[in-house]
C-alpha cells in the first residue's frame, strides 16, 4: 500500500479501507445524479454514497458506468429503509440495491435509520453481518443510530464498524462522538459542510482559509479528517467537487482545530432518530 493512499483512507474493518472523502448524492436525481457521479469519479473521487431512499441508485449506477472506472477501484455505499429490518429482509434489500445500481457487490451497506418503535434494527444488523460473512458486501454499518440504539446492537454481541451521522462545526454531537470513540466506531459525517451554516464565514474558518490559501469548505473538511472522520459532502458543481477532494495537502494546527471545535452550539441534528425514519 502506498503512503498517499493510506493518508486518504481509513481502516473500516480488517482488510477494508474507506476513502475519507466520498461524494454525497442526495438530493441529486436522474441525469443530474449520473452526470455528477461521472464527473466526480473522473475528477478523482473513489467513494460514492447513495441510499434506497434517495431514489437515485439507478442514476448513480449509470454515472459509475459512464465514468469507465473499474468497479474494484470504487468504494460504493448505499443504505436501506426500515421495511427491510429483518434478516431475510436485508437480503432482499441487498438484491434490490444491486439491481438498481447494476453492480454485483457493495463495499458498505448501512441501516439508514434505527426506527426504534419498530424494534427490529438488531435483526437488520444481524442480516448485514451475514452478508459480510457470505462475502456479498465488504462491510456493514448503520446511520443515524444514537448511543442508546448502538448499545442495544452491542448488547446483542455485534460490533458496529461505522455510523454515518450529521456532523458539522455547529452540530458536533459530542456525546455521540465520545460513544463512537469509546467503542471503536468509525464516524462518517453527512452534511459535513452544514446547510447554509454561519460557520463557513466565521473567523475560525475564514482565518485559516486565508492563511493557507484554501476555501472555508476545505478548512471544514480538513477539520473532519483530522478528527478521524469520513465526510461525504454533496455537490454537483465541478469546482466544489474538486476543492472538496483537495484536502490532503495541508494541515490545521491544534489551535485551529480547537477554534473550530468551539463553534459547537449543542444543537441536535436536524432529524430525531427516535422518531424519524423511512
Ligand atoms: P451545492 O450542492 O449547491 O454545491 P448536504 O447537506 O446534502 O451535504 O449539502 C451540502 C451543501 O453544501 C449543499 O448546499 C452544497 O451546495 C454545499 N457545498 C458543497 N460543497 C461546497 C463547497 N465547496 N463550498 C460551499 N458549499 C458547498
CATH of the domain at 159: 3.20.20.100
Query: Which of 221, 272, 270, 274 shows the shortest CA–CA distance to 250?
Result: 221
Ligand 1 pocket, residues with Cβ under 6 angstroms: 24, 26, 191, 193, 195, 215, 217, 233-237, 240, 243-244
Q: Which residues contact 175 (CB under 8 A, 6 or more apart)?
A: 147
Q: Is 190 known to be catalytic?
A: no
Q: Which residue's CA is the closest to the ligand 1 atom numbered 12?
A: 193
Enumerate residues 6+ apart whose C-beta is below 8 A from 171.
194, 264, 265, 267, 268, 269
137 in any annotated domain: yes
Quick: pLDDT tens for 106-134. Answer: 999 999 999 999 999 999 999 999 999 99
75-98 pLDDT, tens per residue?
A: 999 999 999 999 899 999 999 999
Q: Which atom of ligand 1 is nearest to the CA of 193?
A: 12
In a domain, 135, yes or no: yes
pLDDT of 1 over the 70 cut: no
Quick check: is 110 in a domain? yes
Ligand 1 centre to CA of 241 (Å) is: 9
DSSP string, 69-101: --GGG-EEEEEE-GGG-SHHHHHHHHHHHHHHH
173 within some domain: yes
Could you identify the residue written with the cell 443530474? 32
Share of the chain above pLDDT 70, in %: 98
Residue 167 in this model has a pLDDT that exceeds 90: yes
Q: Is residue 254 part of a domain?
A: no
Q: What is the pLDDT of residues 204-215, one digit of tens each?
A: 999 999 999 999
Does residue 249 fall inside a structural domain? Answer: no
* Domain presence at residue 264: no
pLDDT digits (tens, 9 = 90+) for 19-55: 999 999 999 999 999 999 999 999 999 999 999 999 9
> How high is the pLDDT of residue 197?
82
C-alpha distance across the termini of the chain, in Å: 39
User: Can you give the residue range of the structural domain that contains 174?
Assistant: 3-197+223-237
Q: Examine residue 247 and state whether it is found in any structural domain, yes or no.
A: no
Q: State the pTM of this model.
A: 0.97
* CA–CA distance, 96 with 17 (Å, rounded to integer): 25
Report the atom number in ligand 1 closest to the C-alpha of 194. Answer: 6
Amino acid at each position: 500500500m502506498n503512503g498517499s493512499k493510506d493518508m486518504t483512507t481509513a481502516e473500516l474493518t480488517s482488510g477494508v479501507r474507506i476513502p475519507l472523502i466520498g461524494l454525497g448524492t442526495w438530493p441529486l436525481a436522474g441525469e443530474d445524479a449520473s452526470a455528477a457521479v461521472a464527473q466526480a469519479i473522473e475528477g478523482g473521487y473513489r467513494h460514492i454514497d447513495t441510499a434506497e431512499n434517495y431514489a437515485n441508485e439507478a442514476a448513480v449506477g449509470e454515472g459509475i458506468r459512464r465514468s469507465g472506472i473499474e468497479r474494484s477501484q470504487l468504494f460504493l455505499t448505499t443504505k436501506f429503509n426500515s421495511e427491510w429490518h429483518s434478516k431475510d429482509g436485508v437480503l432482499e434489500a441487498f438484491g434490490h440495491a444491486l439491481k438498481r445500481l447494476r453492480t454485483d457487490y457493495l463495499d458498505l451497506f448501512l441501516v439508514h435509520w434505527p426506527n426504534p418503535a419498530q424494534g427490529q434494527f438488531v435483526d437488520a444488523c444481524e442480516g448485514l453481518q451475514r452478508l459480510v460473512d457470505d462475502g456479498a458486501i465488504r462491510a456493514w454499518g448503520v446511520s443515524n443510530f444514537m448511543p442508546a440504539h448502538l448499545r442495544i446492537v452491542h448488547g446483542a454481541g455485534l460490533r458496529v464498524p461505522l455510523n454515518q451521522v450529521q456532523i458539522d462545526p455547529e452540530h458536533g454531537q459530542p456525546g455521540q462522538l465520545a460513544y463512537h470513540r469509546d467503542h471503536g466506531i468509525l464516524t462518517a459525517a453527512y452534511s459535513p459542510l452544514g446547510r447554509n451554516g454561519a460557520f463557513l464565514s466565521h473567523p475560525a474558518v475564514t482565518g485559516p482559509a486565508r492563511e493557507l490559501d484554501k476555501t472555508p469548505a476545505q478548512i471544514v473538511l480538513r477539520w473532519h479528517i483530522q478528527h478521524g472522520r469520513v465526510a461525504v459532502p454533496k455537490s454537483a458543481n465541478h469546482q466544489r467537487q474538486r476543492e472538496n477532494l483537495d484536502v490532503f495537502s495541508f494541515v490545521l494546527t491544534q489551535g485551529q482545530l480547537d477554534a473550530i471545535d468551539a463553534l459547537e452550539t449543542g444543537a441536535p441534528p436536524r432529524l430525531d432518530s427516535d422518531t424519524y425514519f423511512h
